[in-house]
Amino acid sequence: MVDYKQAGVDIDAGHQVVRRIRSLARGTFTPGVLSDIGAFGGLFQLSGSALRDPVLVASADGVGTKLRLAFKTGVHTTIGRDLVNHCVNDILVQGARPLFFLDYLATGRLDPDVAVQIVEGLAGACRENGCALLGGETAEMPGFYAEGEYDVAGFIVGAVEREHLIDGRGIRSGDVLIGLPSSGLHTNGYSLARRIAFEVSGLALDSYVSELGGTVGDVLLVPHRSYLRAVGPLLGGGRIKGMAHITGGGITDNLPRVLPAGTHAVVSRRGWTVPPVFRWLQAAGDVPEEDMFRTFNMGIGLILVCAPEDVSAVLDALESSGETGATPIGRIDGGGEGVRYADS
């Protein structure tokens, strides 16, 4: 006789995970939540919000090969934070504040301790962003993932007043680009970073690199930051014409996504100081400059577009919210398309 557990699926372990994460999720619940963890669907009441004409904004994403570092280090609490913050930023650029978040965790053999670590990170980031962890799915699929490996994806829903949607349509030639610093690689470029660090340079996770001021593992596992606290006070004020979350594809591919036809961006490479981790990766891997700007965020995690006369007010608002690293990094020009990099 062969039962489900012998086939590789431990239903009891799944129930244990649900019991252990229920309190973590409940700690994120906001007034709009009408259901508990374990229901077939999460319930959220939108009518209680202060929005008169709300537009829902949704996004889904993953963490990519940064997961490999979690597997190797055994540190799983940062992955959930990466995932939530990435998703929050993706809807923030359209002016939306997060309402609720769902996760999907898939693995070959469910390890309750690892699952709880991941959810601890999810719940912590949801609380910080005022977002309810409404539910999720844990899938145990024996033979599908290697031992000790898993994948995790996140789904977020937020809302914005229709009249306050940020869609880039008002961007004009002469507008200014303001860059907000990243906390590191965030969640992109890890396939290249891992190859440079571990294959080309022959380093280990615990190798200390003086140029980085820490070990390879510590530097590469720094969580993706959320920009909601910094940008939140500016939402609805009319000064922000467009925003770009600098993820896979770097500034080169992401900034054009918010630019109207007939405009292009001019980005000054001297507009900010590129953090040491990127210069180290470039030197160690002999990576062309063009590839660096199309693979990594290069120290800029979010770009705002505003009119020249609003730059001072935007920078003051960012500083008041605790964002001290924001700086103008370029401008919008008429004609053409995409991004042009300048050395001045």
- pLDDT of res. 9: 60
Report CA torsion sign: 182, 183, 185, 187: negative
- Please state the φ and ψ torsions of residue 75, each to the nearest 5 degrees: -100, 110
- pLDDT of res. 51: 84
Query: Is residue 329 within 8 Å of 311, Cβ to Cβ?
Result: no
Q: How far apart (Å, rounded) are the C-alpha atoms in residues 92 and 100?
A: 13
- pLDDT of res. 86: 98
Helix axes 77-92, 112-128, angle to 10 degrees: 40
- pLDDT of res. 39: 85
Q: How far apart (Å, rounded) are the C-alpha atoms in residues 46 and 335?
A: 42
> Which pLDDT tens digit goes with each residue over 129-157?
999 999 999 999 999 999 999 999 999 99
Query: Is residue 152 within 8 Å of 105, Cβ to Cβ?
Result: yes
Query: Which range, of 5-9, 109-113, 209-213, 262-266, averages the lowest pLDDT?
Result: 5-9
Q: Retrieve residue 221's tokens.
A: 């596992």
Q: Is 55 helix (H, G, I), strand (E, B) or coil?
A: strand
- Domains in the chain, start-ordered, CATH in brackets? 11-164 (3.30.1330.10), 176-342 (3.90.650.10)
> Which pLDDT tens digit goes with each residue over 167-187?
999 999 999 999 999 999 999
Average pLDDT over residues 271-290: 97
- pLDDT of res. 21: 84
> Which pLDDT tens digit goes with each residue over 231-253?
999 999 999 999 999 999 999 99
Please state the pTM of the whole predicted model.
Answer: 0.94
Output 24 or 9, whichever has higher pLDDT: 24
Q: If you search the block for the tokens 């829903």, which residue do you land on?
A: 157
